[in-house]
Amino acid sequence: MPDLRATLLGAAGEVTGSSTLIDTGHRRVLVDLGLVQGEPSGHDRNTTLPNIDTRWLDAVALTHVHVDHSGRLPMLMQTPWRGPVFCTHPTADLAALALKASARLQRVRHHEWLKHRDRGQFTKGDQPPPILYTKAEVNDLLDRLVPLQIDEAVDLGEGVSLRLKQAGHILGAASVQIDCPDGRVVCSGDLGRDDAPPIPGPTRCPSADLVIMESTYGDRERRSVDNVESEIARIVAAAAHRGGPIIVPTFAIGRAQQLLHVLRTLQSRGLLEMNVYLDSPLAARATDIHSHWPDDLHPSSQHGLDDPLDFPGLYKLMSRKDASRLDDLAAPAVILAGNGFGEGGPILRHLARWLPDAKATVLLSGHCLAGTLVGHLSGDPPTVKIDGRTIAVEANVEVVDAFGGHADATGLETWLLANDTPGQVILNHGEPDARDALASRLTQRGCTIRTPSVGETCVA
């Protein structure tokens, strides 16, 4: 009888670069193909595809559009492979935005690096950030997308079927369930919380022989939404007293919508009396897509999020010229700007402008990935480097690690053990401490746990 095999091609002992190859003995499915972010070796790892023979790859499943899960998918178009890429309908809509933006950002970073090099800001041996794929390759990949409804089964042949389950996390995020004659495999993808509108919570894990499960917050518990709103209200009040802006590094898909939901709630309660600027055209367009899928939102948001950008005092900045006007802000305001890890995008301009100002506040509202600018800022350092310049940190740095779309340790355990204890659990997508903590917790509940390294194959 064939074995069920799972090979972690990324995100093993780390939280980016997600990619898992599932081999049922009858069909081979690649779940996600994301970018490696944060670590210095990421550029080198991103320039090549994982060591798989795409000639024997039957399908790809995309759990959601965050680039640490989707960001290398267009590179498949550099191979002869032209199979289906299964995802949810909202993910298909968002992928067109996210992957085109990723290709554009790669070009911008590459050319910006060359400019800085020509100004003598890098040493001779440094290498520019790579351009991994073209817009044409993104379009080719988008043509391969096959949108599915949640719980809709698709037949892959040889008695193997694939279906997507609600994962929470961001709009359209899904877990992947693969059924075959020899058992069932479930890949969790990134799991959301039950109480994090505007996104609903995840469907519990079905009974399975093999589960590949994320562990991002496997070592911590998250505060409730009510507590988060109180904390943001406190930060807003303190910023108003100081008279400076609140700068928020923001992911365009997921984090931006969570923040807008909370800020809108605070405004409705009279606790937010300052303008809000969304400096991310991608976030603005992604939020419009949220309004196209009201049935995929949290019940508390289905009637209140027709257009979450349409509330008094909130402004979309769609150009650098618009954003440059914020350099001379004379009143407190909230500035939400991409990118969430501070690895590029409009946030760099705002941080460079406001970090040296003691009246300003920097709000870090989710996971602070080690090795990134946001990860460095979370330690409240005296200086940081932005585009080769040393910037003093005089602003107030607030860390509210509650806005990320990941379930905490209790949420992960609840998701996994809501039904029968699975045959075997492989933990991925978690830094070592978080993954080890969750492994210990689940072992005590009777689970058989594996914590493989990148490239290692586990057999069930």
Q: Give the helix ranges, DSSP H, for 213-254.
A: 225-242
| pLDDT of amino acid 50 | 92
Which residues fall within 8 angstroms of residue 249, CB to CB, at 6 or more apart? Answer: 337, 338, 339, 340, 341, 342, 347, 351, 362, 364, 365, 374
**What is the structure's pLDDT at 110?**
83
Q: In what order do the strands lie in the sheet with 275-279?
A: 314-316, 275-279, 333-337, 246-249, 361-364, 396-399
> Which amino acid appears at position 160 of this protein?
V
Q: Is 382 helix (H, G, I), strand (E, B) or coil?
A: coil
- Cα distance between residue 442 and residue 426, in whole Å: 11
Domains of the chain, each with CATH number or no CATH: 5-220+407-459 (3.60.15.10), 225-399 (3.40.50.10890)
Structure confidence at residue 113 (pLDDT): 79
Using DSSP, state whether 28 is helix, strand or coil: strand
* CB contact at 8 A, 66 and 251: yes
Quote the CA–CA distance of 448 and 450 in Å, as a whole number. Answer: 7
Residue 424 CA to chain centroid, in angstroms?
A: 26
- What is the length of the chain? 460
pTM value > 0.75: yes
Q: How far apart are CA 245 and CA 325, in angstroms?
A: 13
Distances (CA, A) of 360 to 11, 43, 433, 454: 35, 33, 33, 41
Query: 274 in helix, strand or coil?
Result: coil
How many angstroms separate the Cα of 215 from the Cα of each of 361, 421, 454?
30, 17, 15
Which residue positions in the chain have pLDDT lower than 70?
Answer: 1-2, 39-43, 118-125, 225-226, 300-310, 404
**Tokens (6 digits) for 248:** 């928020």
Yes or no: say if 130 and 106 are a contact pair by the CB < 8 Å rule.
yes
- Using an 8 Å Cβ cutoff, are 339 and 249 in contact? yes
Q: Facing residues of 29 across strands?
A: 22, 59
